[in-house]
A and B are shown apart, each in its own frame.
Chain A
């Protein structure tokens, strides 16, 4: 019994170390670069964003409110 517990603790500790080694080896860029790219994407796509800029009523299928119909 104690052998089983010891070996499964060992196995999960090994897994944790392998996983951490993998995560530590990830290539990273500076936040300034990443943030600049996020900003760029937002600005480039802003004009096409209907919830940001709105679209003409005729182009928005939800624009006319649903009205009661009797048929």
Chain B
């Protein structure tokens, strides 16, 4: 396979065209939608015209409020100096490409998953492996740590999300206690526990996201609106309410109301697949990373893109993004093996980090912001800190 493809997906399973009759994609009518004040004109032609008119109106309304650029507002802000960040830990043990990782709330444990089906729990301080389980499928594209630290969730080409309770007994067979929670009709691309161990949010190549009850495996809410594979999701910080953002192969980033299943805002400015989305720490904005080699910042209250982080010299896709604690720095893991660190306010790059020997596929800042971890197709994970 070609490691240098500047665009396009790594998995032969991505961007499958969805069947014309998507029976499983029922769009639930909310009460508000049923009682529209202005009745819909029933003919297709009129609906299409109204659709075009509304799209134009949306653009106009957003443009009216576009009175300044973010970097202009940040002109007087002191620039960031030299940044030296180094790898402090290298986690070796996966036998193939690392696809996903997540931090435990204890700020020291990490779960990671790889192409060969292995899911490993590490103590990042000591680099010891604490648990390992082999999934029955390859390409485990998603993994997440439960808030309690007592379980991990993962899935991929099996189209499911399964939860493994972590036992204190290292000899215990983790696979025996596995619980299947989510069932999609295509690969699982991302998963995240909500505020508790009781619910999991998933995104899938089947074009949907879904919220599940872990105990019963029941589908609590489904989210329809993407026109192609959904590749990533992120939950809003708990203080800002019950929403989450998803990104997909349709180049859209959608913000969803978890209770109603409604898509409340949608952004389409990227020129290719959106591989990663992450909320700004205040919850008022989110960043995205795409195969179009850019990261972008969208402000939810202004309802528009407010910054693009790009350089002519950066031509490879961004696989994953995350913010530092204050939101001032945006870290992007790229398919050209590097990590670019951006000044979120000024829009400039403050550092480029080398170390991985293949694509960076996943990147997360630790819960207390002291470090960030990257996973790569070079089979390793690295933990980085600021040297000062």
Contacts and interface: CB of A to CB of B under 8 A. Distances in A.
Interface string A2-45: 00001011100111111111111010111111111111011111
Nearest to B53: A20
A35 B299 contact: yes
Contact of A45 (B80, B327, B383): B327
Interface stretch (B70-78, B152-160, B271-279): B70-78
Interface string B7-27: 000000000000001000001
Interface stretch (B58-66, B198-206, B312-320): B58-66
B215 interface: no
Given A45-B327, A50-B369, A62 B73 contact: no
29 contacts: A10-B47, A19-B266, A20-B58, A22-B33, A23-B54, A26-B303, A28-B304, A30-B67, A30-B302, A31-B67, A31-B299, A32-B67, A34-B285, A38-B70, A38-B285, A38-B344, A41-B280, A41-B281, A42-B77, A42-B344, A50-B386, A51-B85, A51-B325, A51-B371, A53-B386, A54-B387, A61-B125, A63-B88, A63-B385
A60 B386 CA distance: 10
User: Which DSSP category, helix, strand, loop or mixed, fits chain B's interface?
Assistant: loop
Contacts, number: 196
The 3 closest A-B pairs by CB, nearest first: A54-B388, A45-B326, A20-B54
Interface in B369-388: 369-372, 383, 385-388
A17 B61 CA distance: 17
Interface of B: 21, 27, 33, 36, 40, 42, 44, 47-48, 50-51, 54-55, 57-58, 61-62, 65-70, 72-74, 77, 80, 85, 88-89, 107-108, 124-127, 225, 262-266, 280-282, 284-285, 299, 301-304, 306, 324-329, 344-345, 365, 368-372, 383, 385-388
Contacts of B48: 13
A31 B302 contact: yes
A13 B371 CA distance: 47
Interface range for A: 35 or more
Most buried by B among A10, A13, A15, A36: A13
Contacts of B44: 6, 9-10, 13
A44 B326 CA distance: 8
B67 A18 contact: no
Contacts of B263: 19, 22-23
Contacts of A22: 33, 262-264
B326 A38 contact: no
Contacts of A15: 27
B89 A16 contact: no
Contacts of A45: 281, 325-328
Contacts of B370: 50-51, 55, 59-62
Contact of A23 (B58, B80, B372): B58
B68 A32 contact: yes
A16 to B, nearest CB: 5
B266 A52 contact: no
A50 B386 CA distance: 7
B70 A35 contact: yes
A33 B51 CA distance: 30
B54 A66 contact: no
B40 A14 contact: yes
Contact of B88 (A26, A37, A66): A66
A49 B359 CA distance: 27
B77 A50 contact: no
A55 B302 CA distance: 34
B280 to A, nearest CB: 7
Contacts of B324: 49, 51-52
A49 B326 contact: yes
A31 B68 contact: yes
B281 A35 contact: no
Contacts of A23: 54, 58, 263-266
Contact of A24 (B58, B65, B77, B88): B58
